[in-house]
């Protein structure tokens, strides 16, 4: 056990048995309808991990009863509640990736350690609770436990503060509210709030607290825990704490944000933010289909031209307003009239004050040919090479967009099992100038035979991971290994904001970091932890409906810096 864990255990001393030390419950609490949000409840222990057992009463049993009652009260108030378990079972059945302390580097790494057991409960079981909470979109993580230790009595609550100053704001506040409300409603002795970094409240992404409701080893407390009336009172206390937490409007903006009311307004805001003095050229692409716009980012960087999105049949007011403000002399349209209709191009020309002679449309028979036309329009950057992604995987194209734009590398598309003919023809035409390629995406989208075909004539770097997030991180490690950076953060869940983020990131020479709306993958959290010193802040791309303020807080927690 790492020394910090031993210190944490010692601080509780006789207040709980070794069996309950370091065990926490992931509880996603759904906020009341007045405040919005989601709540995750995780009763501690379960299955073959009973926790404390006194007079035939196990901790796992009373933890679950309290959590189920709390769910009932929270749902009655309009909250959405997710639970880690609703019966007597554990949460992990085998070895999974967990956070492991590495003494040689004095750091935590996220990997499967080949073990399925550890004292007192396997980290696999604890991490499974965190994983479920983190993926659920929960705003709050509440761990429900009960204590043990002689005749001690009362309630105590905990939050984490080890190397995560952000936790000392919201998580500390949540723990304090839980403590005061459970004590008041349950009529318990107040044992106070402490900052102990138990696994689940440390490695859950959202604000998290652990409450020890009472002492099973104390016969009076044990009798209370077996009382439905007492458990209901505790559940009301938990619900009141949740309401008070949300009433404080806890999730404030932390980073700069490029955003609009929708994807079109967001692209307009990005254009005006990135090109405040106007632009000689603007790129107009469909906001309804990503196929023609996959390769837009490096063209944006080459032409020093913002990318504006439009619906197929009409130009939005936000896009038209941005075009007027940018006052371009040329408009480059990506895709055919079936993607961006002629009437829309005419409206864009009117907004720019130019004739249709100023329009250049790059449109191939399909997305593969359109990407080649974009590459030809860019020209070849000596020594830069090309990027190659699957024509069916927009997240990988987004990961390629920032470094491709920064380095002047055209993005070419391929089918999974065979190099698309138009792409092969482009490489053949430019064999003297193009001598290298960066392939982004794993064998599930770009097969080994395609990569082998490229290797016959090119020096190939293949960047990929087991999922879109790890593939994204592979590009960051390759192209931004050192120096200070300000990543642009975009959702992995829809293409418009990723397209916008890739274009402005490439123009700024910054990476694109991929996350979910509220989801920070564990491997991404490790990357943020490892690079905290050289990431002073992030730039969020998209409104809070696609990237929540909670995600900003999670990034701050991962960076181990204070947050408002």
Counting beta carbons within 10 angstroms of the beta carbon of residue 393, is it exposed (0 to 12), middle (13 to 18) or buried (19 or more)?
A: buried
User: Measured between alpha carbons, how far is residue 474 from residues 37, 248, 396, 467, 513 in Å?
Assistant: 32, 39, 11, 11, 11
- With H, G, I as helix, E, B as strand and everything else as coil, classify residue 212: strand
DSSP E strands, 329-409: 330-334, 359-362, 386-390
Determine the Cα–Cα distance for residues 210 and 23; give it in Å rounded to an integer.
Answer: 9
Identify the burial level of 142 via C-beta atoms within 10 angstroms of its C-beta, where 0-12 means exposed, 13-18 middle and 19 or more buried. Answer: buried
HEC readout, 10-73? HHHHHHCCCCCCCCCCCEEECCCCCCCCCEEEEECCECCECCCEECCEEHHHHHHHHHHHHHHH
3-class secondary structure, 379: coil
> Cα–Cα distance between 386 and 388 in angstroms, integer?
7
How many Å apart are CA 478 and CA 474, to the nearest integer? 6
How high is the mean pLDDT of the chain? 91
First-to-last CA distance in the chain? 33
Please provide the CATH number assigned to the domain covering 3-92+121-247: 3.40.630.40
Strand partners, 215: 147
- Give the residue among 481, 501, 318 at the shortest CA–CA distance from 402: 501
Cα separation of 486 and 504, whole Å?
12
Q: Can you give the pLDDT at residue 36?
A: 54
CA distance 248 to 299: 45
Strand partners, 271: none
With vertex at residue 248, the alpha carbon angle to CA 246 and CA 252, rounded to the nearest 5 degrees, is 90
Which pLDDT value is given to residue 173? 97
- State the maximum Cα–Cα separation within the chain, in Å, rounded to a whole number: 88
Q: How far is CA 315 from the centre of its chain?
A: 32
Q: What is the pLDDT of residue 531?
A: 95
What 3-state class would DSSP assign to 298? helix
Say how far apart CA 528 and CA 552 lie, in whole Å: 12
Report the residue count for the chain.
Answer: 564
Strand arrangement of the beta sheet that strand 539-541 belongs to: 257-258, 539-541, 488-491, 512-515
Residue 330: CB atoms within 10 Å:
17
Report the alpha-carbon distance of residue 152 to residue 146 in Å, rounded.
12
CA atoms within 13 A of residue 156's CA, in its CB half-sphere: 16
Determine the Cα angle at 529 with ends 525 and 533, to 5°.
Answer: 140
| Range(s) within the chain of domains with CATH label 3.40.630.40 | 3-92+121-247
> Does residue 158 contact residue 195 with C-beta atoms inside 8 Å?
yes
Alpha-carbon span 313 to 287, nearest angstrom: 11
Q: Which two tokens stand for residue 107?
A: 């750091």
Residue 76 makes CB contacts below 8 A (sequence gap 6+) with none
In contact, 160 and 143? CB cutoff 8 Å: no
Q: Give the pairing of strands 39-43 and 155-159.
A: unpaired
Which two structure tokens, joined as six digits, stand for 63? 């933890």
pLDDT value, residue 541: 96
Nearest by Cα to 113 from 123, 103, 126: 123
pLDDT at 564: 64
Question: Is 21 in contact with 157 (CB distance < 8 Å)?
Answer: no
Half-sphere exposure of 446 (CA within 13 A, CB side): 31
Find where tokens 């035409």 sit. Answer: 429
The whole-number pLDDT of residue 319 equals: 97
**91 cis-preceded (ω within 30 degrees of 0):** no
Strand 190-195 versus strand 488-491 pairing type: unpaired
SS3 call for 438:
strand
Q: What would the pLDDT profile of 344-398 be if each residue is shown by its tens digit?
A: 999 999 999 999 999 999 999 999 999 999 999 999 988 999 999 999 888 999 9
Residue 407 token pair: 């380095």
* Among candidate residues 480, 472, 464, the one with its CA nearest the CA of residue 524: 472
Rounded to an integer, what distance in angstroms lies between the CA atom of residue 294 and that of residue 309? 13
What would the pLDDT profile of 141-157 be if each residue is shown by its tens digit? 999 999 999 999 999 99
* Residue ranges in the chain modelled with pLDDT below 70: 1-36, 118-120, 563-564
Q: Which residues contact 147 (CB under 8 A, 6 or more apart)?
A: 15, 16, 20, 52, 156, 212, 213, 214, 215, 216, 217
Q: Distance (Å, rounded) from C-alpha 175 to C-alpha 210? A: 7
**How, if at all, do strands 307-310 and 281-286 pair?**
parallel
Instruction: Give dist(CA 401, CA 395) in Å, integer.
Output: 10
Structure tokens of 37? 């949000």
CA trace torsion 237, 239, 243, 248 (10° rounding)? 60
Nearest alpha-carbon partner for 194 in 1, 2, 10: 10
pLDDT at 210: 98
């Amino acid at each position: 056990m790492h020394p910090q864990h031993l210190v944490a255990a010692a601080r509780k001393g006789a207040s709980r048995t070794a069996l309950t030390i370091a065990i926490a419950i992931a509880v996603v609490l759904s906020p009341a309808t007045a405040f919005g949000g989601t709540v995750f409840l995780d009763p501690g222990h379960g299955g073959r991990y009973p926790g404390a057992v006194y007079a035939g009463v196990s901790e796992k049993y009373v933890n679950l009863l309290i959590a189920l009652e709390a769910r009932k009260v929270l749902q009655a108030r309009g909250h959405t509640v997710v639970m880690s378990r609703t019966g007597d079972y554990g949460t992990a059945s085998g070895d999974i990736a967990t956070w492991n302390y590495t003494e040689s580097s004095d750091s935590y790494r996220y990997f499967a350690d080949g073990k399925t057991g550890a004292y007192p409960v396997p980290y696999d079981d604890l991490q499974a609770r965190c994983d479920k909470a983190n993926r659920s979109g929960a705003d709050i993580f509440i761990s429900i436990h009960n204590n043990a230790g002689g005749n001690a009595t009362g309630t105590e609550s905990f939050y984490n503060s080890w190397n995560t100053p952000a936790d000392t704001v919201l998580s500390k506040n949540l723990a304090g509210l839980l403590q005061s409300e459970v004590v008041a409603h349950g009529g318990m002795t107040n044992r106070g709030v402490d900052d102990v970094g138990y696994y689940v409240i440390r490695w859950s992404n959202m604000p998290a607290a652990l409450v020890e409701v009472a002492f099973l080893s104390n016969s009076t407390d044990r009798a209370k825990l077996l009382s439905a009336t007492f458990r209901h009172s505790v559940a009301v206390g938990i619900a009141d704490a949740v309401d008070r937490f949300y009433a404080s409007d806890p999730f404030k903006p932390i980073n700069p944000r490029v955003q609009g009311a929708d994807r079109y307004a967001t692209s307009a805001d990005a254009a005006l933010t990135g090109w405040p003095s106007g632009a000689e050229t603007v790129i107009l692409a469909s906001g309804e289909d990503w196929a023609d716009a996959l390769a837009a980012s490096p063209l944006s960087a080459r032409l020093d031209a913002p990318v504006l999105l439009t619906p197929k049949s009409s130009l939005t007011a936000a896009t038209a307003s941005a075009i007027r403000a940018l006052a371009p002399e040329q408009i480059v349209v990506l895709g055919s009239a079936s993607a961006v209709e002629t009437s829309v191009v005419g409206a864009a020309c009117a907004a720019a004050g130019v004739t249709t002679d100023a329009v250049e449309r790059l449109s191939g028979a399909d997305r593969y040919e359109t990407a080649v036309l974009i590459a030809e329009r860019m020209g070849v950057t000596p020594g830069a090479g090309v990027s190659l992604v699957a024509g069916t995987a927009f997240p990988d194209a987004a990961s390629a967009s920032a470094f491709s734009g920064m380095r002047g590398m055209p993005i070419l598309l391929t089918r999974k099992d065979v190099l698309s003919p138009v792409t092969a023809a482009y490489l053949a035409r430019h064999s003297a100038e193009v001598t290298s390629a960066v392939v982004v995406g794993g064998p599930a989208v770009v097969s080994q035979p395609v990569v082998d075909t490229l290797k016959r004539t090119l020096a190939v770097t293949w960047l990929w991971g087991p999922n879109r997030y790890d593939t994204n991180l592979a590009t960051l490690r390759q192209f931004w290994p050192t120096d200070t950076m300000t990543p642009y953060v975009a959702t992995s869940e829809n293409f418009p904001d990723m397209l916008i983020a890739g274009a402005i990131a490439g123009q700024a020479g910054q990476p694109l970091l991929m996350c979910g709306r509220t989801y920070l993958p564990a491997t991404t959290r490790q990357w943020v932890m490892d690079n905290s010193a050289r990431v002073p802040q992030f730039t969020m791309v998209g409104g809070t409906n696609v990237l929540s303020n909670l995600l900003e807080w999670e990034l701050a927690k991962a960076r181990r810096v204070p947050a408002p």
